[in-house]
Amino acid sequence: MHTRILLALVAGAAFGFAANQLEFSGFVITYIRPVGTAFIKLISMVVVPLVFVALLVGTASLKDIRSLGRIGIRTLLLYVSMTAIAVTIGLTLANLVEPGKGFTQETKQQLKQGAAAQADAAIAGASAAREKTSVVNLLLNIIPANPVRSLAEGQMLQVIFFAVLMGICLTLIPPERAKPVTAFFEGANEIFVKMVHVIMLIAPYGVFALVAAVVADFGLGIIWLLFKYCLTVLAGLLIYMLVVYSAILKFLARTGVRRFFRGLRPAQLVAFSSSSSAATLPVTLKCVTETLGVPQGVASFMLSVGASINMDGTALYQGVATVFIAQFYGIDLGFGQQLMVVLTATMAALGTVGIPGAGVVMLLMVLNSVGVPPEGIGIILGVDRFLDMCRTAVNVTGDSVCTMVIAAAEGQLDNNAAQKKLGESGEPLKTSALP
């Protein structure tokens, strides 16, 4: 399965590139992209029912309900500190590499052309988003006034709140009343897990189509103009993934690093091709519970909260992008201002939803906080889709790393299960998508 999805991704990129060069992008976008869209719609279809039911069953099966509070606080602390570390790495790297300096006047003009117009749409979206992201609103928004509407609109934090509360109440009513309800939801849970397995059968085709369409549609020229910027973001993401995550996995989760990356690969590939951590959630859950040895209770809680509030890749990218745009406009950000970037980018990441392009909208909040011209985002929009793919893969990895850490801290990480599934070295022993 892992290998087939990876091959599909590479083949999709090559096919998309050929389409771009030989000018048949239109064909790819009209006829091939829909296969990818169908795949994304199919996995998105399972997100809400799966998270709701898995959380409900997971909470109801917890032996000690008080552990929920502990897990909740640890989760929040871990997510916020990981995000802050990510922005700091992004800032440090951008200060060292200085990707926004050294442009000729001509290139600057070229990049600025149309930037303001492109930025307008994003700026309009951001003012709406900003209203929602004051701390009080953020907290109030977690409580659903109408849980049915939350389910229908896919408001994840509200769905999580309601499911956990319902799970707790299920343990508080007499067991003979609770039993049939629990049995019903356990059955429903199995149905949705199986649905993910079935949908994953077409993952290679979906990934191929999505990547082919993005590459075919891509203006490759702009990548050269912004090469240093793209490289800085990519280097930051790579360092963060290989150094920070590996260290955390080794020392905090005490688990095999290679095995982890191997086991999570399907989720990373789907995240990369879909640019949406929310849509990838069912696949992440599948990898973390079935391959990496985390029980469903912890995994469903951690991963669904993570897909809503934990965005390490996005935060790192926002750090680099802020410094890049400031340098481009000849603005020097002092230490105090950079500290402000860490704070606002961490907050922005909390408010970023896991959908394509959400990070660039929230970037406006960060730019505004340090007085960098918001129309600067128009300059980087051309390469944003590609960087979005990469940062989404990191976002999903971050959620999973934190899940491993909390599961280990709670004594619920079954390294033996992962070893059985993937072997000591991380090589998969079982490759079929259907059990």
Give the nearest distance from C-beta 313 to ligand ASP in angstroms: 7
The tokens describing 432, both together, are 């079929």
Question: Whole-number minimum distance, CB 349 to ligand ASP, in Å?
Answer: 8
Distance between CA 283 and CA 264 in Å, rounded?
9
End-to-end CA distance of the chain: 12
Count Cβ atoms below 10 Å from residue 399 Cβ, excluding itself: 32
Residues within the interface to ligand ASP (CB under 6 A): 275-277, 311, 314, 352, 354-359, 388, 391-392, 395
Write down the least CB distance from residue 374 to ligand ASP, Å.
17
Tokens of 430: 């079982």
Residue closest to ligand ASP (Cβ): 359
Q: Which CB sits closer to ligand ASP, 78 or 393?
A: 393
Describe the crossing of helices 312-328 and 227-239 by its angle, rounded to 10 degrees: 150
Shortest reach from residue 174's CB to ligand ASP, in Å: 42
Q: Closest separation between CB of residue 219 and ligand ASP, Å?
A: 19
- Two tokens, residue 250: 């080794």
Check if the beta carbon of residue 53 is closer than 8 Å to that of residue 250: no
CB proximity list for 219: less than 8 A, separation 6 or greater: 382
Please report how close the Cβ of residue 133 comes to ligand ASP at its closest, in angstroms: 14
Q: What whole-number distance in Å separates Cα of residue 67 and Cα of residue 86?
A: 28
**What residues contact residue 339 under an 8 Å CB cut-off, 6+ apart?**
none
By CB atoms closer than 10 A (0-12, 13-18, 19+), residue 35 is middle
Cα dihedral: 162, 351, 40, 217 (round 10): 170
Nearer to ligand ASP, 50 or 358 (CB): 358
> Smallest distance from the beta carbon of 315 to ligand ASP, in angstroms?
9
Residue with smaller CB distance to ligand ASP, 40 or 311: 311
d(CA 193, CA 385): 30
Rounded CA gap, 344 and 326, in Å?
16
Query: Residue 426 carries which DSSP code?
Result: S
CB nearer ligand ASP, residue 359 or residue 378 = 359
Report in angstroms how near the CB of residue 36 gets to ligand ASP at its nearest: 15
Closer Cβ to ligand ASP, 255 or 308, answer by number: 308
Q: CA–CA separation, 351 vs 337, rounded Å?
A: 21
